[in-house]
Amino acid sequence: MSYVKALKCRECGREYPKDPLYVCEYCFGPLEVVYDYEKIKKKLTRETIESRPKNLWRYKELLPLDGEPTDGLNSGFTPLVRARNLEKALGVKELYIKDDSVCHPTLSFKDRVVSVALSKAKEFGFNTVACASTGNLANSVAAQSAVAGLKRYIFIPADLELGKVVGTLIYNPILVAVEGNYDQVNRLCSEIATKYKWAFVNINIRPYYAEGSKTYGYEIAEQFGWKAPKHIIVPCAGGSLITKIYKGLKEFKNLGLIDKPETKIYAAQATGCSPIVTAIKENAEIIKPVKPNTIAKSLAIGNPADGVYALATVKETGGWAEDVSGDEIVEAIKLLAATEGIFTETAGGVTLGVAKKLIEQGKIPKDESIVVSITGNGLKTQEAVVEKIGKPIKIKPNIAHFEENVKR
């Protein structure tokens, strides 16, 4: 049974049938999935959700399928970790890590969106999937489409980290490395998508794909004890995740699953690619595209598709935004590892670095609940830290040599 009513233009409100469409013919606004919340309300209670397996489909009525899910049956429901050591290090009272560095199967939050996109693409009858990716999406589409038995074309910028490339090629897709930045890859893919009948998960399937990100927000609210925390810091690339976390909290409120969220949402970007953060700091209405130059490659989108909606989310919730340098990213990655035993990729360094900065600035109060969104795994971006973590002590295999060389 489907709870999806239609697609709707986010700008002019025109409705469209639930087809593989993504842009309004009249105003070129992006399309979004609309649900029958009255019907969902009758079905979806806290108890129903809690009785279901611990994966993102426990919220399936709020996801855009007509039938049962077929992909990502083990994705999502990642830990919300109470970060006691990090609380001490930052001088705050109550801090949590929402840890998608261990999302199944490819260790980033992109497994959520891909689970939904592929399930939907199969409902539409596509046999080929594709994506334009900054790395994590490539990993997830490659892995999950292998399981689904779909043909796949994956497009990435040619300068991605080795971990992201290997983590894609291992699943044997057709991987195309484009000599250019992500924005150029994306433009090329838009052209390809109009010519070939493929399900481009983040282009023509985007309205459905993006809904998967809501589950990150649902889980925070459920795991926090069916309420919303006071502050959530979110890394932004295209600006979709931050928008959808907020949509998820509002939906939970409208369904009576949580009280009205008084959550401030904060955008985190790297200084070398911070179009969303810059717009917030300058109180601008529009996003000025930039040419990315940062070690946080998974966030390196200079012309973010959902930038204006990310902006609106931050404004509406009363949050704020910050950016951090490459050195600050590395420091934050090391801090998270040293305090909580979590090894995050550069995007996670951005988020924690920004959280630290906002706390130091007094923008986030020290005595309220804070959730830091950790969205990817550090083993994929080893280049960023390998020169900054020391080296193993090499010894000969005997005790004398051990005692001579290793301080005790």
Ligand X SMILES: *Cc1c(COP(=O)(O)O)cnc(C)c1O
CB nearer ligand X, residue 75 or residue 240: 240
By CB under 6 A, the residues from 370 to 389 that bind ligand X are 375-376
Beta-carbon contacts of 27 under 8 Å, excluding residues fewer than 6 positions away, are 9, 11, 12, 14
Give the total of residues touching ligand X (CB under 6 A): 16
- Binding Zn ion by CB under 5 A: which of 9, 314, 321, 335? 9
Tokens of 386: 């390998």
By CB under 6 A, the residues from 101 to 130 that bind ligand X are 108, 110
- Binding Zn ion by CB under 5 A: which of 3, 8, 20, 24? 24
Residue 263 interacting with ligand X (CB under 6 A):
no
The region of 124-132, 232-240, 315-323, 356-364 touching ligand X under the rule CB under 6 A is 232-240
Which amino acid appears at position 325 of this protein? S
- Binding Zn ion by CB under 5 A: which of 16, 29, 105, 334? 29
Tokens of 126: 């596509």
Beta-carbon contacts of 149 under 8 Å, excluding residues fewer than 6 positions away, are none
Give helix 307-317 / helix 240-254 axis angle, nearest 10°: 50
CB nearer Zn ion, residue 20 or residue 319: 20
The region of 30-38, 62-70, 237-245, 251-259 touching ligand X under the rule CB under 6 A is 237-245
> In angstroms, rounded to a whole number, what is the distance separating the alpha carbons of residues 175 and 385?
26
- Binding ligand X by CB under 6 A: which of 55, 78, 115, 136? 136
User: CB neighbours (10 Å) of residue 206?
Assistant: 24
In the complex, what is the shortest distance from the CB of residue 312 to Zn ion, in angstroms, rounded to a whole number? 16
Give the total of residues touching Zn ion (CB under 5 A): 8
Residue 75 interacting with ligand X (CB under 6 A):
no
Q: What is the 3-state secondary structure (H, E, C) of 249-278?
A: HHHHHHCCCCCCCCCEEEEEEECCECHHHH
> In angstroms, rounded to a whole number, what is the distance separating the alpha carbons of residues 80 and 84?
12
> In angstroms, rounded to a whole number, what is the distance separating the alpha carbons of residues 403 and 13?
73
- Binding ligand X by CB under 6 A: which of 64, 157, 167, 235? 235
- Binding Zn ion by CB under 5 A: which of 15, 19, 27, 53? 27
Measured CA to CA in angstroms, residue 351 lies from 44, 198, 322, 345 at distances of: 32, 34, 9, 10
Residue 63 interacting with ligand X (CB under 6 A):
no
Measured CA to CA in angstroms, residue 104 lies from 59, 73, 147, 152, 191 at distances of: 17, 9, 13, 20, 31
In the complex, what is the shortest distance from the CB of residue 270 to ligand X, in angstroms, rounded to a whole number? 11
Residue 269 touches which of Zn ion, ligand X, none (Cβ within 5-8 Å per kind): none
CB nearer Zn ion, residue 12 or residue 166: 12
The region of 19-27, 37-45, 230-238, 323-331 touching ligand X under the rule CB under 6 A is 230-238
CB nearer ligand X, residue 222 or residue 345: 345
CB nearer ligand X, residue 297 or residue 357: 297
DSSP state of 40: H
Measured CA to CA in angstroms, residue 328 lies from 84, 269, 271, 376, 384 at distances of: 21, 12, 10, 17, 12
Residue 239 interacting with ligand X (CB under 6 A):
yes
> In angstroms, rounded to a whole number, what is the distance separating the alpha carbons of residues 140 and 146?
10
Residue 240 touches which of ligand X, Zn ion, none (Cβ within 5-8 Å per kind): ligand X
Contact residues toward ligand X (CB under 6 A) are 108, 110, 136, 235-241, 298-299, 345, 347, 375-376
